[in-house]
Amino acid sequence: MVKGVGVSRDLQWVLTRNWSSSLIKARGINRRFSRSPFNPKGLFVPRFEGQYQQKALTIEPNAGGKGVTLVYKKRRHQRKPAKAVARIVLNKDSRRTLKNIKTFCNRNLYRTDLKNVCLRRASAILRSQKPKPIKKSRRTAAPKKAAE
């Protein structure tokens, strides 16, 4: 008795690319977007679709509003989707956060393009969480002359 059928990721992509639940089509735009949780770029292409890849990772903002969360798939639990997702909370300063993401990707042999996309996304999220400085007006109000 056959317990499972191994289907390649390329065949999975060909069969489901037009009917995926994460596919978003926009009018007037030739690009196809994705709402897949393991798609750091948001484009509906097999290169960034995490549901078709063995190793996938993405960056999300923390719920508290400070720092980011590195979300990745564990290769050892490929056939158990509930156990496959792992999260690492990174809420130090931006330099350490980006260094930790880079080290994680290098040690676990993630693709360079995926690493660079995640670093850019983390950098953008951290930049958006910075407090905005209050801009001072260049002009000061001139003192009103007293009526004589």
Whether 1 is in a domain gets the answer no
Which residues make Cβ contacts (< 8 Å) with residue 17, sequence separation at least 6?
23, 44, 46
For residue 36, which of 15, 13, 14 has the smallest C-alpha distance?
Answer: 13
Total domains in the chain come to: 2
CATH of the domain at 68: 3.30.390.110
pTM across the whole model: 0.78
The pLDDT tens digits of the residues spanning 69-107 come to 999 998 888 788 889 899 999 999 999 999 999 999 999
3-state secondary structure 86-116: EEEEECCCHHHHHHHHHHHHHHCCCCHHHHH
Is 64 found in the same domain as 45? no
Question: How far apart (Å, rounded) are the C-alpha atoms in residues 43 and 13?
Answer: 14
What element of type H or E holds 59? strand 57-61
Range of the domain at 23: 10-52
The pLDDT tens digits of the residues spanning 15-42 come to 888 888 888 888 999 999 998 888 899 8
Whether 138 is in a domain gets the answer no
